[in-house]
A and B are shown apart, each in its own frame.
Chain A
Amino acid sequence: AQKITQTQPGMFVQEKEAVTLDCTYDTSDQSYGLFWYKQPSSGEMIFLIYQGSYDEQNATEGRYSLNFQKARKSANLVISASQLGDSAMYFCAIPGDFQKLVFGTGTRLLVSP
């Protein structure tokens, strides 16, 4: 079975600074992917970034990048130049059987001016 661990319940960062949100995972699959989602206070789940286990490069999407360390089974999300609108819950997820997503407990990020 797949498992995601997010050890940071909350993180604080000042505007314009970079922040790293931690995610470690456990899976017995040889080929897999990692997802990150953002959930603002309004509740919707917004897809941010995806990393495939066999991708040679770390994934990047605008200000979001993934620090993927396969041997350590970690897929940390890096947000550069934080903005006030980045304040939200962030979830790391991995597909399990039938591609259902297994989520971590999330990290609440607060960006201060």
Chain B
Amino acid sequence: DSGVTQTPKHLITATGQRVTLRCSPRSGDLSVYWYQQSLDQGLQFLIQYYNGEERAKGNILERFSAQQFPDLHSELNLSSLELGDSALYFCASIPGPIVFYNEQFFGPGTRLTVL
């Protein structure tokens, strides 16, 4: 158990819908990262938050947005869903923003299926 929790574990929805994925980082971790794992794109970084503020953006679509709340949990919102958004979405957390860490732990992931 990495200490990072994600809900829901599975999500099945239809094209055009909107979903919210939730992540709770390890206790004390201020940085949250979101990654997408799809068959055609592999594992891709989406976005990072540190202590409530957006720090870095990767290949995140405009239909996707995220935020980190005062209690440090984070949500990834996916809207106008398309078939190609079907993927495994991970979050990971580390204690700080840019200090070098020798471990990065991932949550169990949310498997999104868009029908």
Q: Could you tell me which A residues sit within 8 Å of B by CB distance? A: 31, 33, 35, 37, 43-45, 47, 50, 52, 91, 93, 95-103, 105-106
Chain B: minimal CB distance from A96 (Å): 8
Residue numbers in A under 8 Å from B2 (CB-CB): 47
Please state if A105 and B42 are interface contacts (CB–CB under 8 Å).
yes
Give the chain B neighbours of A96 by CB distance below 8 A. 45
CB pair A101 B104 closer than 8 Å: yes
Provide the residues of chain A in CB contact with B45, threshold 8 Å: 96, 100-102
- Which bracket fits the contact residues of B? 20 to 34
27 contacts between A and B (CB under 8 A): A31-B100, A33-B100, A43-B108, A43-B111, A44-B106, A44-B109, A45-B90, A45-B106, A45-B109, A47-B2, A47-B103, A50-B103, A52-B100, A91-B43, A95-B104, A98-B48, A98-B97, A99-B31, A99-B33, A99-B97, A100-B45, A100-B48, A100-B56, A100-B58, A101-B45, A102-B45, A105-B42
Q: A43-B88, A43-B111 are in contact. Are A100 and B106 (CB under 8 A)?
A: no
Describe B's contact surface by its main secondary structure: strand
Interface centre among A33, A44, A91, A100 (most CB of B within 10 A): A100
Chain A residues with CB under 8 Å of B103's CB are 47, 50
Contact assessment for B98 and A47 in the assembled complex, using a CB-CB cutoff below 8 Å = no
